[in-house]
Amino acid sequence: MSYVFAPPAVVAVPVVGGGEFPVHRIYCVGRNYADHAVEMGYSGREPPFFFLKPADAIVAVAAGETGAIDYPTLTRNLHHEIELVVAIGKGGRHIAAADAPDHIFGYAVGLDMTRRDLQNEMKKQGRPWCIGKAFEQSAPIGPVLPIAGGGERVRGGIRLEVNGQTRQQGDLAELIWNVNETIEQLSAAWTLQPGDLIYTGTPAGVAAVVPGDLMVGSIDGLGSLRVAVRPAAV
């Protein structure tokens, strides 16, 4: 094969215990905690809905390190959304919720960074969210902990601090659509592949960060994710 330019490098996330998880697609679930749905102006249990980010939105942060993102272009309202991320190790279609754990490689702490002003404008106009959600460096993530190491994640605190102040706090047990149900619904719409990541939604408290801020997200049993916000790249 003779490529006309160098193909992009494989995007990968470190795995606790060794190795790298190669990323295929990034799926994200919208409004999956009741208190966050309410803060975004919705109520009740609606069917889950999904959007995607490109794999190269990943900013992988190794254990014990502090990652960084550049403040993105076009926005004046860059929001943090702390989320449990599910890493798929075995693909499939029409996966029943009861079988979902067989398809999970592991879990990580992630941030679904959002240009909220652009997303809101697109919502108003009934247009796609890509510009608000799917930009570069919009998906920081910590190391993947294999399910074999800690079992299924069905409860446990999830929180985000910015500059030492708590912004978001919840529990995985509050997910409207739990991980296994999410995999069932997602795999009815797309054929899941090894390497897919699923950002499962965020609890209430989403708010803006500015250059110079330090975000520290954590989920019980999965450690923490530290990401600094740098000034806009020139």
Q: How far is the CB of 34 from Mn ion (least distance, A)?
A: 14
Q: Name which of 112 and 196 has its Cβ closer to Mn ion.
A: 112
Q: How far is the CB of 183 from Mn ion (least distance, A)?
A: 17
Number of helices (H) and strands (E) in the chain: give both, helices first.
5, 17
- Of the candidates 206, 180, 19, 43, which has an alpha carbon nearest to the alpha carbon of residue 112? 206
Q: Name which of 202 and 218 has its Cβ closer to Mn ion.
A: 202
Burial class (CB in 10 A: 0-12, 13-18, 19+), 207: middle
Strand partners, 20: 14
Q: Say if residues 139 and 199 touch (Cβ distance below 8 Å).
A: yes
The residue number with the shortest CB distance to Mn ion is 112
Q: Name which of 81 and 161 has its Cβ closer to Mn ion.
A: 81
**CA 176/CA 181 separation, integer angstroms:** 9
* Cα separation values, 43 from 86, 112, 170, 212, Å: 25, 21, 17, 34
Q: How far is the CB of 112 from Mn ion (least distance, A)?
A: 4
Q: Name which of 138 and 202 has its Cβ closer to Mn ion.
A: 202
Q: Name which of 81 and 196 has its Cβ closer to Mn ion.
A: 81
Q: Which residue has the tokens 């999904």?
A: 50
227: left (phi over 0), alpha (psi -120 to 50) or beta: beta
Q: How far is the CB of 45 from Mn ion (least distance, A)?
A: 17
Contacts of 9 (CB under 8 A, 6+ apart): none
Residues found near Mn ion in the complex (CB under 5 A): 81, 112, 202
Q: How far is the CB of 136 from Mn ion (least distance, A)?
A: 17
Q: How far is the CB of 46 from Mn ion (least distance, A)?
A: 15
Q: Name which of 16 and 83 has its Cβ closer to Mn ion.
A: 83
